[in-house]
Amino acid sequence: MSKEARVHRIKQVVLVTALAIYTMLAAGPFLWVASMSLRTTSEISKDHFRLPDTLHWEKFPDAWFNSNYGVYFSNSLLVVLSAVAILTLVGAMAAHCFARYRFRLNRVLYFVIFSTIIFPPQITIIALFQILVEYGLFNSLFGLTLVYVAFQLPITIYILESFFSRIPNDLFEAARIDGYSEWSIFWRISLPIALPALSTTIILNTILLWNEFLYAVVLITDEDKRTLPLGIQRFMGDQMEDIGMISTGLMIAIIPVVMIYAFFSEKLIQGMTAGAVK
């Protein structure tokens, strides 16, 4: 091996080692929780940093049935799925409209909705609490769903609009000559073409709402209506010392995210970074 090749080799080894250390730092905490989720608290308190000797899988059904995680999980699932379904349809309709039709106020409305992205949630949260109480939607999963839809609407419209506006206009003209109605142009041309962008927003919104905490903590108080982040916080407050069981609960919240990420990592990265890349 020539001297130059050897220097190059050493450089590469150093680089890869440094990157591996950073990877441990990024992933280590999750691996730690994953290992604790399969150990009992008494095992953990003897040594916190050990792989499980016996795998206590029974902790998962235990958390699910006896510590109410099953309820939290289904609440989260219900709210997230319905919010994402509404968001996708409503957001796509609005984005299609902004991209497709020229009308006065078009850019103004678009800009107003878009600028909401930077609003701190505090500016709406107190009033939302009052409004939902007034309309009997406080402490209801339906109310939370509507708030979530409104919360994610700007970013959804932003991502979809930039995709819709790249669809060539000739396509719509042709469809119009074929006698398509405005609605079927949207339903049968825009939407199918926009599937890649739609799947990006669906995955992005699913993850963000699955993790949402602030609106949930203000708008939900009943034990049996808690979403997962609230349930975890509650369990953490009640059972501070039961590290093993809290870890199991954390894994119940993490696993769906990891599964989505495993299948759609590129889509998810695209969605998360959509706002940052111009």
Partner 1 sequence: MHEARALRTPWRAVTLFLLPALTLYVAFTAYPVVKTLWNSLHVVLPNRHEFVGLANFVELAKDDIFWRAVRNTLIWACTSPLFEVSIALVLALALYAKVPGARFFRIAWFTPVLMSYVVVGIIWAWIYNYDWGAVNYALRALGLDSWTRAWLGKPETALPALIFITTWMWTGFNMVVLLAALHSLPSEVIEAAELDNCGWWSKLVFVIVPMIRATVLNLVVLSFVGKMKIFDLVWITTKGGPLWATETVSTYVYKRAFEWNTFDLGYPSAVASVWFVIVLCSVLTLTWLFRQREKLEY
Toward partner 1, which CB reaches closer, 69 or 91?
91
Q: Is 162 in the site for partner 1 (CB under 8 A)?
A: no
- Stretch 200-219 residues interacting with partner 1 (CB under 8 A): 207, 210-214, 217-218
Residue of 265, 258, 270 whose CA lies nearest to 197: 270
Least separation in angstroms between residue 38's CB and partner 1 is: 16
Is the separation of the CB atoms in 243 and 36 below 8 Å? yes
Q: Helices 69-100 and 243-273: crossing angle, nearest 10°?
A: 10
- Three-state secondary structure call for residue 22: helix
CA 5 distance to own-chain centroid: 46
In Å, the largest CA–CA distance within the chain is 78
Using CB under 8 A as the binding rule, whether residue 3 contacts partner 1 is answered as no
- The residue within the footprint of partner 1, chosen from 56, 182, 187, 189 (CB under 8 A), is 182
276 touching partner 1, by CB under 8 A? yes
What residues numbered 94-133 form the site for partner 1, per CB under 8 A? 94, 96-97, 101-103, 109, 113, 116, 118-131
Enter the tokens of residue 169. Answer: 């206009």
Residue 273 binds partner 1 (CB under 8 A)? yes
Report if residue 244 touches partner 1, rule: CB under 8 A. Answer: no
Tokens 């007034």, residue located: 134
76: closest CA among 211, 234, 236, 238?
Answer: 211
Q: Interface with partner 1 includes 136 (CB under 8 A)?
A: no
x/- map, 76-95, partner 1, by CB under 8 A = -------------xxx-xx-
User: Under the criterion CB under 8 A, does residue 51 sit at the interface with partner 1?
Assistant: no
Interface region with partner 1, contact rule CB under 8 A, candidates 1-9, 20-28, 64-72, 193-201: 20-28
Question: Strand, coil or helix: what is 220?
Answer: coil
Q: What residues contact 52, with CB distance under 8 A and at least 6 apart?
A: 35, 38, 39, 43
Residues 58-77 that bind partner 1 (CB under 8 A): none
Q: For partner 1, which residue of 63, 84, 149, 197 counts as binding (CB under 8 A)?
A: 149
Determine the size of the site formed for partner 1 (CB under 8 A): 85
